[in-house]
Amino acid sequence: MVIISKEEAFYTRALFFLFGVGLMMIAPRTPDLKANLQVNNGTLGSLISISAAGAFLALIYMGQIVHRFGARPVLIGAATWLYICMAIQPHIHSTWIFAIDQICVGMGWAGYHITINSQGLHRQKLSGIPILPKLHGTWSVGALLTAIIAIGITSHITLATHVDIGVSLIWVLTMYSIYRLRDVLIPGTTEVSEEDVRPSVKSIITFFKSDWMIVVAITSGVLLETSTNDWASLFTKEDIKASSSLSILSYVAFALGMIIGRLNIHTLYIRFTERQIIKRSAIVGGSLFIICVQIASHLAPHHPTSGLIFAFIAFLCGGLGSSSLAPGFTTIATRNSKFPTGFVVAQLTLVNTAIFFISRIIISWIAQATSITTALMIPGAVLFITAIFAKLGSDTVLTPR
């Protein structure tokens, strides 16, 4: 077994933390983005969703690229591309240019996402310690921090200034963290034949057929997180009628729930089985989210403070319920697959991205035709589906180490 040093653990967490801060910098300020583009909710949701096209293009080859060339060059290239494209967004007022830039953002996200998750799973296998949930929890800490910063500065500085300064700092810190991890990052190799890892329509179909339950499970478990990134702030601003600064609280609540769940998941693994954790998280989290969102929406017109409180509780519970699902099912998938880790993560994300593209557009136009409250019922209800696939998890309790 490999022993992970404190330095490696710190800088690996830093990569996830910085990714959370940088990637989610714009999410809490979605209302500002909507104002820049002068579009309705349906169009905004569709524009945000189009990043899936870029992610899909990158994901087709990303598992192979990480496996062949190693993690370091991919991380450097993906992070640089991602943050340049993000820095451009607040300066865009044309929907067509924004759509193109979103596709580019999706490509950068895909490269970084696949590589850091492959790195985490690689070291997890070597060490025998379930570190991925904690790494995802660290990502959520970054997402929470960026939301808290947004609360404090939204009324004082423009979105453009916020993002320009923010992504520049995040890029510098990311490059430094990559440099410090240079000796432990996944090396490039040709050990596995190219035929085994070459992506194609046939390989994607084969992967989906053999692991379709994992794909559906992860998609169901992550859809609420994706929808929160898209709609939490707008829901609180438009349906709950909160101010621009307070509208970010729902996003903060979800991130807080994810952090609490992911950073403490190891205590659950030594008390409950993987199956029990997945099933209970999905059912309880989904139920409380749906109930509290409905209460918040009904209270808001006459009791805005109470509505805001229930909105906070709804997203907090949704975050707690979702926290263990993505890292849990990703671990199950890589544990049971014959393919290299990077390839498995890339294939999972590839199929999920295609499904998310369709589902996010549907949610966007339901929000436009009805309300954001109604649209949010979809990812809340879908969370229940994840409980059906709890049987894929282990039925043994982890032995404390």
Using CA atoms, how far apart are residues 56 and 51, in angstroms rounded to an integer? 9
pLDDT number for residue 140: 81
Q: What is the pLDDT of residue 400?
A: 46
pLDDT score of 195: 38
CA-CA distance, 155 to 100, in Å (whole number)? 29
Residue 204: per-residue pLDDT: 64
Tokens of 328: 């849990």
Phi, psi of 70 (to 5 degrees): 95, 170
With respect to residue 401, please indicate whether it lies within any of the assigned structural domains: no
Other C-beta atoms lying within 10 Å of the C-beta of residue 359: 20
Whether residue 96 is contained in a domain is answered as yes
pLDDT at 89: 93
Residue range(s) defining the domain that contains residue 360: 6-392
Asked if residue 229 belongs to a domain, the reply is yes
Residue 398 lies in a domain: no
Give DSSP secondary structure letters for 324-360.
THHHHHHHHHHHH-SS-HHHHHHHHHHHHHHHHHHHH
Q: How many structural domains comprise the chain?
A: 1
Q: How many Å from the N-terminal Cα to the C-terminal Cα in the chain?
A: 13
pLDDT in tens, the chain (401 residues): 778 888 988 999 999 999 999 988 988 788 888 889 999 988 988 898 888 888 877 777 776 787 788 889 999 999 999 999 999 999 999 999 999 999 999 999 988 988 888 888 778 877 777 777 788 788 888 988 988 888 888 778 889 999 999 999 999 999 999 999 988 888 877 665 443 445 555 666 666 666 778 888 888 888 888 888 888 888 999 999 988 788 889 988 998 998 888 878 777 777 888 888 888 888 999 999 999 999 999 999 999 999 999 999 999 999 999 888 887 888 788 777 766 666 677 677 777 777 888 888 999 999 999 999 999 999 999 888 888 888 887 777 655 44
The β-bridge partners of 187 are 70
Beta-carbon neighbour count of residue 202 at 10 Å?
A: 9
Give pLDDT, residue 208. 66
Residue 243 counted as domain residue:
yes
Structural domain includes residue 311? yes
Residue found by looking up tokens 């096209």 in the block: 53
Q: Is residue 21 part of a domain?
A: yes
What CATH code is carried by the domain that includes residue 254? 1.20.1250.20
Q: Tell me if 400 is assigned to some domain.
A: no
